[in-house]
Amino acid sequence: MWKCSSASARRACADLFVQGKKNAPCIIFIDEIDAVGRHRGAGLGGGHDEREQTLNQLLVEMDGFESNEGVILIAATNRPDVLDPALLRPGRFDRRVVVPPPDIVGRELILKVHTRKVPLSKDVKLDVISRGTPGFTGADLSNLVNEAALNAARRGKTRVYMQDFEESKDKVLMGRERRSLILSEEEKKNTAYHEAGHALVGAVLANVDPVHKVTIIPRGVSLGLTQTLPVDDRHNYTREYLLDLLAFMMGGRVAEEIALDHMTTGASNDIQRATETARRMVMEWGMSDKLGPLSYGRKEEMVFLGKELAHHQDYSETTAHEIDTEVRRLVGEAYEHARKILTDRHSVLDAISNALLEYETIDGDELAALVRGETIEREAPADDEEEAAPAAGEEVSSGNGEAGGGRGLQAHLGARGRAGVRRRPAYRRLARRGRIRFRAG
């Protein structure tokens, strides 16, 4: 709206408030206010750039407001830390309403809204899905439901199953599968032992989040993944949790050394994250017994870079050496802890690796069975046609309790989704039997 010269931007800002007063009572909503309300007096351009001129005009207009004019000014941003202090003074934007990501109850309610018109199978449990999606926003959950519906339509189903939601969640969290990537048997074996090391250490340690799924199917930029999910939403982390997390991160590298007697570059991200976590434990969170509850490294706020943080060394070289020693000690102890766990359970490590090579993906229950010394027994997958076809006289429930079957799924997917389903052989066979019908439009 104000992408123009500074003079015209000031006129547009003034006109906005004039129109608001003429149409009172009204609400003026400014989205992404940090685009024009960033901290003044830093960066290139001094105080004469277009953005600062617009901000000055906005402040002048807000000062002219009276309490009885019937105009309410609301703004939104996800970067309140970069706003100019003048915007936050009393009489301006002096009331803050924080909108955090929904909790587990909120996510379940949001899922109910987005699945109202989606035909769901009886095995779909929205409370389980909400517990497995910590940190998801409303838009993320909407995308999750849509991906699950598309996945069901591609397979010629008339309803969305729990498996469709699981695959959709994996795609959102871990990235799309790259089955076209050709891996040698040696690389597959190395990846299997690496992920098995993470999974076994995570299954043994009591303080880390439970392992939800382990896979050696390449996703995104990784060749394999071990996914953990918290039982409840976490807001604070204990020292015991962080120490076990360090051991969990080291599990992959240790498994490679124990089982294959070599090291690979696959552990680079684990080492980087472990080092960063240990350094923050020492420098920011005061979790070092030797250095005590102190914060080291003053942060310099570069406003013209959007307040990117840079560390300033406000401690001596002796203290810097002690910090490096403590970081090395924390990571080293976690490494040895992971080594002891895997060495004592070498046969279990081999069993998990073999299961990954055979099935490519195992879930948390199957991992727990392998840790107990049991074997995995999977039923043969059902035929797509039988899975897609509801039994005679059976109603397909939608998210709001209505019967709908394919009609609900086609309404959710739209014309493009229906065209994709029509091309499926399973659809054509079911259509000939009169089990599903699609209307034009």
* Cα dihedral sign, 58-61-63-67: negative
From the list 415, 437, 413, 429, the residue with the least C-alpha distance to 153 is 413
Phi–psi pair at 145, nearest 5 degrees: -65, -40
Token look-up 């250490």 returns 201
Give the span between the Cα atoms of 349 and 362, in whole angstroms. Answer: 14
Alpha-carbon distance of 114 to 241, in angstroms, equals 35
Cα first-last separation, the chain: 37
Closest-CA residue to 60 (of 26, 13, 127): 13
**Residues acting as catalytic residues:** 195
Helix (H/G/I), strand (E/B), else coil: 381: coil
Using an 8 Å Cβ cutoff, are 346 and 255 in contact? no
Cα–Cα distance, 274 to 335 (Å, whole number):
10
- Spatial CB neighbours of 20, under 8 Å, sequence gap ≥ 6: 26, 28, 71
- Which of 404, 406, 409 is CA-nearest to residue 145? 409
* Nearest Cα residue to 216 out of 185, 191, 196: 191
- The dihedrals phi and psi of 100, each to the nearest 5 degrees, come to -80, 170
For 108, other C-beta atoms within 10 Å of its C-beta total 19
309, β-bridge pairs = 301
d(CA 163, CA 161): 5
Identify the bridge partners of residue 312 per DSSP, sorted by sequence position.
Answer: 298
Owner of token pair 């098995």? 196
